[in-house]
Amino acid sequence: MKIVVLKFGGTSVGTIEKIKKVASIIGNYRKKNYKVIVVSSAMRGVTNDLIKKSRQISKNFSESEYDVLVSSGEQVACSLIAGRLKYNGFKSRSWLGWQIPILTQGPHKNSRINQINKNKIISYLKEGGIPIITGFQGMNNDQRITTIGRGGSDASAIMLAKFFKAQRCVIYTDVEGVYTTDPNKFNKAKKIKVISYEEMLEMASLGAKVMQPVSIQDARLNRIDIEVKSSFIKKSGTLITKKSNIINSKIVTGITSTYNDSKVTLVGVKDKPGVAASIFKPLSTNSINVDMVVQNISANGKETDLTFTIKTEDLNKTKKIIIENKRIKFRKLLFDKRVSKISIIGVGMITTPGVTFRMFQALANKKINIQVISTSEIKISVLVDKKDTKKALIVLHKEFKLNK
């Protein structure tokens, strides 16, 4: 059976006219003799509106009821898509996660799909039907509706592609694919034709908005090729696949930037074993993700200045945790929200010497000061002043010839 999984994001189903367009895209795949499984997000803005309503009801809204509430957005979108397909002459119906069922494990609001019962959907496909499946949701062992985190419809599509052994998994969105950098920040950004799971995972975790990191990780673990393309323009998109499928002469594949990072510095921390663990353990316990870390030891070896980055939304909580932490002593606590993390990503960096120098020299030539540095095999990240973000993107894009 030649199966394709098509996933449509919130912008793709944001209006009735767009849903009609989506139905036409689905119909074209069906006419090419594909057995089509469709996954849909909620219409744009609907999930945020439902979350807002939950907060108006209670500051401590039940997590299980939260999942029931927010999952209703996908139900609406799927019903409308199925309705339009039936109008167009196709056999179609909507399927909610619990009707299949899609089984999940883990806590409410952040579950993971671990099993999909294929029987009903296979039978429906054989009958010529087009199932429209709600993304972002499933059912736990207590037969309660669960959701799998924001952006979870991508993960739903990838797991459906895995369980049904789909030939293709296509993620339809409002952009033509994955770009060398955010085209809204730099109009000379170029669409990437093919990118590895590893590069896409780094780009997604470092600020690229096209897909959620957890979805890329699911695709990588299950070796599901993903095509990202636009719902509105008939052009090829970006293929996300394994490294061995890529013939790429570029050292750097993409550049990302963030606007929601803050820098925290503890000045004059006593330099002794266990101090860093004492600082970071309570942050971890409170689900605060620490990213870039740098430590400067004083000349006498008795004190150290410790700097790290966090998400700006966690800044007040971080400050409170550090001040109340009786296990550490320091002379001063500094915060800076006026920073941005710039990252270059590419598997070509593994075998190419001099990449770090070229990045640092290019930034220095534009008088952009580097505050913190973090590296991995395929990534170099630097923290710079927020006002220098666009200038840094432009100079690095040119340095690594991403505009060609």
Q: What is the pTM of this model?
A: 0.84
Distances from the Cα of 73 to the Cαs of 43, 93, 112, in angstroms? 7, 16, 19
Domain boundaries, the chain: 3-174, 261-336, 339-399
Cβ neighbours for 390, distance < 8 A, ≥ 6 positions apart:
185, 186
Closest of 113, 55, 394 to residue 255, by C-alpha: 394
Phi, psi angle pair for 15, to nearest 5°: -140, 170
pLDDT of residue 190: 92
Mode of pairing for the β-strands spanning 168-173 and 226-230? parallel
Burial annotation 261-275 (CB, 10 A radius, 16+ → b, else e): bbbbbbebbebeeeb
> Which overall architecture, per CATH, does domain 3-174 show?
3-Layer(aba) Sandwich (3.40)
CATH code at 261-336: 3.30.70.260
Q: Residue 48's pLDDT is what?
A: 94
Nearest C-alpha neighbor of 227 from the set 252, 202, 192, 268: 192
Distance in angstroms (rounded) separating the CA atoms of residues 292 and 238 = 29
Q: Mean pLDDT, consecutive 10-residue segments, the chain of 404 residues?
A: 95 96 96 96 96 95 96 97 98 97 95 96 97 97 92 92 94 91 87 92 81 87 92 91 77 91 92 87 92 79 87 94 90 94 92 93 97 92 95 95 84
Tell me the one-letter amino acid at 283. L
What would the pLDDT profile of 211-246 be if each residue is shown by its tens digit? 888 889 889 998 999 999 999 988 899 999 988 777
**pLDDT, tens digit, 9 for 90 and up, residues 334-344:** 999 999 999 99
- Whether 81 and 117 have beta carbons less than 8 Å apart is answered as no
CB atoms within 10 A of CB 222: 12
CA distance 275 to 131: 55
To the question of domain 339-399 being in CATH 3.10.180.10, the answer is no
- Condensed to tens digits (0 to 9), the pLDDT of residues 43-68 reads 999 999 999 999 999 999 999 999 99
